[in-house]
Amino acid sequence: MAMTGVVKDELSRVQVIKPCCRKAEVSTLLRFAGGLHLSEGRVVIEAELDTGAVARRLRASISEVFGHPAEFLVLAPSGLRKGNRYLVRVSKGQAGESLARQAGLIDSYGRPVRGLPRQVVSGSVCDCEAAWRGAFLAHGSLTEPGRSMALEITCPGSEAALALVGAARRLKVHAKARDVRDVDRVVIRDGRRGDRRHADQARRAPGRAGLGGAADAPRGPGHRQPAGQLRRRQPAPQRARRGGGRRARRARPGDPRPGRAAAPDHGGPAADGPPPAARPAWRNSASSPSRR
C-alpha cells in the first residue's frame, strides 16, 4: 500500500472526543470532498472519497454530531479511475440544507461559502488540527521518501487554500499555496532536508563553517598561521606602514629589489639608489631670478 493510503487509514482510526473538533473535521471534509447540488428545489450534499474507512467515518460523524442520516454508496471504476470510489450523500427532506447551514457551507442568506467555515477559521488550535486532518482525508497526498518529500492538498478554490495556509500558520507550520495548471494546492515541504544539506556541507568543509569551525580552532605553539590572518590579527606599526608605502611609490620599474630604492626612515642616503640631486646654485645666491 502506498504511503498516502497508510496515513489515511491511520487518521481514519483516530478517536476525537471534543465536539468542536468533530464539527471542524466534518465541515472541512464536506468542503474539500463534497459539493452542494440542487435537486427538485432541495439542497443535496455529496462527498466523494477514495477510501472506504474515511467514508464510513464521515457518515458516522454526520449522524452522531449533526443528527442527519447519510447514504453510503460505492462507485465502480470507470474511465481513468482504477479503484472504487465511495460516496456519502445527504438528501432526505430538508436534511441537506440544515446540514449545510450547521457545517458552515452556506451563510445566513443561503449563499455558498467560498473558503472554510467561520467556526473553523476563528476556532482554537484543535479546530485547526481537525481542519487539516479533514482536508488531508478528503484530497491529500504524500510523495514517496526521496529528494523532495512533501505533503500536498488539492483545494476547491483559492479562498479555501488561503484559509488552510492560515490554519497551518496558527499551528506554526510553514505551508505555501500554489496554482498548478489552474488547480489550487497547498504544499508543505520537508524542512529537515535543508538542515541535513547544511550539516553535510559543514562536515565536508569544516574550515568554511564560520565561527567555531576548524579554521578558528586554537593551534599549538609550532603552528604557523597564514600571512593574511597575521596581518589581520597583528596590525603593523604606523611607522612601518608609512615606510612601506614610500618604498612602493619610489620604486623604479627595472629594479629587481624596489624596496632598496627608497631612503630608510631615519633620513639617511639610500643603500643602492642614486645620490640626491644637487640644489641649483641660483636658489642659494642673492641674485635669484625671483628677487631681481
- Residue 277 pLDDT level (bands cut at 50, 70, 90): low
> Exposed (0-12), middle (13-18) or buried (19+): which is 105, by Cβ within 10 Å?
buried
26 with 61: CB under 8 angstroms? Answer: yes
Helix (H) or strand (E) holding 283: helix 281-284
Query: What are the tens digits of pLDDT across the range 62-81?
Result: 999 998 988 888 888 777 77
139 belongs to a structural domain: yes
In a domain, 266, yes or no: no
Provide the number of structural domains found in the chain: 1
Cα–Cα distances in angstroms (integers) from residue 71 to residues 12, 14, 63, 104, in the given order: 18, 22, 10, 20
How far is it, in rounded angstroms, from Cα 278 to Cα 288?
17
Domain residues for the domain of 34 are 3-192
Dump pLDDT digits (tens) for 203-238.
555 444 444 444 445 555 555 555 544 445 545 556
Per-residue pLDDT tens digits for 111-151 = 888 888 888 888 889 999 999 999 999 999 888 776 678 88
Q: Which residues of 11-23 are buried (b: 16+ CB within 10 A; e: fewer)?
A: bbeeebeeebbbb
Span between the terminal Cα atoms of the chain, in Å: 112
- Alpha-carbon distance of 263 to 251, in angstroms, equals 11
Q: Which residues have C-beta within 8 Å of that of residue 215, sequence separation ≥ 6? A: 206, 207, 208
Please give the Cα distance from 212 to 210 (Å, whole number): 6
CATH of residue 22's domain is 3.10.28.10
- Whether 247 is covered by a domain: the verdict is no
Which pairs with CB-CB distance under 8 Å and at least 24 residues apart come from 32-40?
Answer: 32/134, 32/135, 32/138, 32/139, 32/153, 32/154, 32/155, 32/156, 32/160, 33/137, 33/138, 33/139, 34/88, 34/105, 36/100, 36/105, 36/106, 36/112, 39/91
Could you tell me if residue 241 is inside a domain? no
> Can you read off the three cell numbers belonging to residue 144?
514517496
Q: Would you say residue 131 lies in a domain? A: yes
The reply to whether 240 falls in a domain is: no
Q: Is the pLDDT of residue 98 over 60?
A: yes
- Does the residue 290 lie in any domain? no
For position 215, what pLDDT does the model report? 47
Does residue 55 fall inside a structural domain?
yes
